[in-house]
């Protein structure tokens, strides 16, 4: 739903230890002594040059000829190519990143539903760079635009990359921004609602794959997906509903169980009004107190909590007494109750069951957006447009007991991707790599943990051959969290996914680099429930000094 921070060529240049997607690298969780560094440098710097020589697909079709191919049945009925243009190196700038390879830029559309249209782009890199890998990217928030920012990063790693708009236009949907009492057209069209998350990728991926095969003269060897936020939910949708489309999926900060996620926005907004409001100064106070209490549980005093689940912070310790009541160093009783409500998450008024998880210790510093902003942007629009079809619906009247079934029936069946049976995806050899920031201010960090536990209950205790979750201490929503500027915010997930899919190497650690404050710091992210432990005497600022341990 928010902005994203992604791995790209720049990060490779900035960090001599960071792998990239096109280079199955030698980086991993094992501690690497300095005497072996030259081996690593060889692998990172020279291997890609050598590996480029082993895939030279031919014959390559000319870029303009793709438009003719679109008329053939091979692409799929309903696919229209609008344009295909050769873009020279540096010819396109997206979010201050230019293409470092020449590519064929294809603009197309796919018809679906009852006269609906999904627009997509496909970028086909020069065959000297292309390594037989197709990548589709997902959307953020309410979608309606193509994520060309991520497309550019993936293109520069050598992928043939495609992205779509999820079947509706932001420009005709309040510019992609939900708001109270505002008509959002796509939420009134069942086909478009299903295309938002369920089918956003599957609608264009087959056509894109077909064009890849035609352009390079052979099918892509491997197909990947990378998405975050809503795109993370789209990744789960692929595993659940379209298990044969992709060999590997990265689902970051999954905005999944979207209907109940929206209810958590509503809950938190309602619980923080008037005297219950938590201003930024109070949120700073809470996070600071949490860090004072739990920072060193992981053995390192770095204002970062490796595992917030073992932190036993008590918000009551910040309660005002008679001498502090008028200062900014404490919380009033209504504020204490508000914070507790956010930690707890929405609870059913019928049976006390958890409607959606609550937030974790250390995430408080960005809670301001939970205090009505996200309710306005997602919860209220979904209730007023999709669930109750009434723009005057008063969200204050929502009953967190009896009305949850309305949300499940009118929204959940179209936008939730929460099946605990992913056996088709597993059987097809698919790999699902999930990331989640502990300080994510949008979706509660422990939803992916809870869902992993549900999957284990349904599919067996060890999912690691097809599903791995990487929790990110101090991580935000698809990148940096504002309260943790020294936490590396570029997660080298795609390179790990490539190794997993193509070499069968389970991702036993993911490296993160590039903290917002510019420090040369890297971290080791571990497959849950493992956490990173510092090797005695190791450099705290280097990922290679850590081991993943249970």
Interaction site with Ca ion (CB under 5 A): 295, 298, 300, 302, 304
- Shortest spacing between CB 395 and Ca ion, in angstroms: 39
- Residue 192 or 302 having the CB closest to Ca ion: 302
- Residue 302 or 371 having the CB closest to Ca ion: 302
- Shortest spacing between CB 7 and Ca ion, in angstroms: 25
CA distance 406 to 415: 14
- Shortest spacing between CB 439 and Ca ion, in angstroms: 13
- Residue 55 or 300 having the CB closest to Ca ion: 300
H helical segments located in 36-175:
37-41, 47-51, 66-69, 148-155
- Shortest spacing between CB 302 and Ca ion, in angstroms: 5
Q: Which two tokens stand for residue 456?
A: 């284990």
- Residue 473 or 476 having the CB closest to Ca ion: 473
145, with CB counted inside 10 A (0-12, 13-18, 19+), is buried
Cα diameter, the chain = 80
- Residue 403 or 486 having the CB closest to Ca ion: 486
- Shortest spacing between CB 295 and Ca ion, in angstroms: 4
- Shortest spacing between CB 546 and Ca ion, in angstroms: 12
- Cβ(146)–Cβ(138) below 8 Å: no
- Shortest spacing between CB 63 and Ca ion, in angstroms: 51
- Shortest spacing between CB 534 and Ca ion, in angstroms: 10
- Residue 310 or 350 having the CB closest to Ca ion: 310
DSSP-assigned letters across all residues of 283-330: HHHHHHHHHHHHGGGGS--SS--S-GGG----GGGGB--TTTTTSSSS
- Residue 300 or 311 having the CB closest to Ca ion: 300
DSSP-assigned letters across all residues of 47-86: HHHHHGGG----PPPPGGGHHHHTTSGGG-TTEEEEEEEE
The percent helix, strand, coil of the chain (3-state, each to 5) is: 40, 15, 45
- Residue 67 or 534 having the CB closest to Ca ion: 534
- Shortest spacing between CB 227 and Ca ion, in angstroms: 30
- Residue 276 or 307 having the CB closest to Ca ion: 307
- Shortest spacing between CB 485 and Ca ion, in angstroms: 15
Residue 364's region, left for phi above 0, alpha for psi from -120 to 50, else beta, is alpha
Cβ burial 65-95 (10 Å sphere, 16+ → b, else e): ebbebbeeeebbeebbbeebeebeeeebeee
- Cβ(316)–Cβ(336) below 8 Å: yes
CA distance 233 to 322: 47
- Shortest spacing between CB 550 and Ca ion, in angstroms: 18
Q: Work out the angle at residue 4's Cα, subtended by the Cα atoms of residues 345 and 432, and round it to the nearest 5 degrees.
A: 70
- Residue 308 or 345 having the CB closest to Ca ion: 308
CA distances from 329 to 340, 361, 435 (A): 18, 18, 34
- Residue 466 or 543 having the CB closest to Ca ion: 543
Sign of the dihedral defined by the CA atoms of residues 338, 340, 345, 351, in that order: negative
């Amino acid at each position: 739903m928010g902005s994203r921070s992604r791995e790209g060529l720049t990060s490779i240049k900035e960090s001599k230890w960071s792998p990239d997607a096109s280079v199955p690298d030698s980086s991993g969780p094992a501690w690497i002594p300095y005497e072996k560094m030259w081996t690593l440098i060889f692998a990172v710097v020279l291997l890609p040059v050598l590996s480029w020589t082993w895939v030279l697909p031919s014959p390559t079709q000319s870029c303009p000829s793709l438009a003719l191919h679109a008329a053939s049945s091979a692409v799929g009925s309903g696919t229209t190519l609008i344009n295909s243009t050769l873009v020279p190196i540096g010819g396109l700038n997206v979010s201050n990143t230019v293409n470092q390879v020449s590519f064929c830029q294809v603009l197309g559309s796919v018809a679906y539903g009852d006269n609906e249209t999904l627009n997509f782009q496909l970028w086909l890199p020069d065959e000297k760079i292309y390594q037989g890998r197709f990548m589709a990217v997902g959307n953020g928030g309410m979608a309606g635009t193509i994520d060309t920012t991520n497309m550019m990063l993936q293109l520069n790693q050598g992928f043939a990359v495609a992205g779509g708009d999820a079947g509706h236009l932001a420009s005709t949907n309040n510019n992609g921004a939900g708001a109270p009492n505002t008509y959002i057209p796509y939420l009134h069209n069942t086909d478009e609602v299903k295309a938002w998350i369920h089918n956003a990728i599957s609608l264009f991926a087959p056509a894109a794959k077909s064009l890849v095969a035609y352009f390079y003269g052979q099918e892509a060897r491997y197909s990947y997906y990378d998405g975050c936020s809503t795109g993370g939910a789209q990744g789960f949708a692929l595993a659940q509903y379209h298990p044969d489309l992709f060999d590997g999926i990265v689902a970051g900060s999954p905005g999944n169980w979207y209907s109940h996620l929206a209810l958590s926005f509503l809950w938190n907004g309602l619980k923080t009004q008037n005297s219950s409001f938590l201003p930024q100064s109070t949120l700073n106070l809470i996070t600071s107190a949490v860090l004072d209490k739990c920072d060193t549980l992981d053995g390192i005093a770095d204002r970062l909590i490796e595992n917030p689940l073992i932190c036993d912070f008590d918000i009551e310790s910040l309660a005002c007494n008679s001498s502090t009541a008028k200062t900014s160093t404490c919380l009033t009783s209504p504020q204490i109750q508000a914070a507790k409500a956010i930690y707890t998450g929405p609870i059913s008024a019928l049976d006390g069951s958890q409607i959606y998880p609550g937030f974790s210790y250390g995430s408080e510093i960005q809670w301001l957006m939970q205090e009505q902003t996200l309710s306005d942007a997602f919860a209220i629009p979904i209730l007023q447009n999709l669930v109750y079809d009434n723009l005057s619906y008063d969200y204050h009247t929502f009953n967190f007991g009896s009305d949850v079934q309305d949300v499940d029936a009118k929204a959940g069946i179209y936008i939730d991707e929460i099946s605990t049976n992913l056996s088709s995806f597993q059987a097809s050899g698919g790999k699902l790599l999930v990331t989640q920031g502990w300080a994510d201010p949008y979706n509660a960090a422990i939803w992916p943990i809870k869902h992993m536990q549900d999957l284990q209950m349904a599919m067996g205790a060890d999912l690691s051959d097809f599903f791995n979750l990487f929790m990110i201490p101090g991580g935000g929503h698809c990148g940096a969290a504002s309260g943790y500027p020294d936490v590396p915010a570029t997660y080298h997930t795609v390179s790990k996914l490539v190794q997993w899919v193509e070499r069968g190497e389970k991702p036993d650690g993911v490296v993160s680099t590039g903290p917002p404050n510019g420090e040369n710091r890297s971290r080791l992210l571990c497959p849950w429930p493992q956490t990173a432990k510092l090797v005695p005497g190791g450099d705290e600022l280097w990922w290679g000094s850590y081991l993943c341990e249970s």
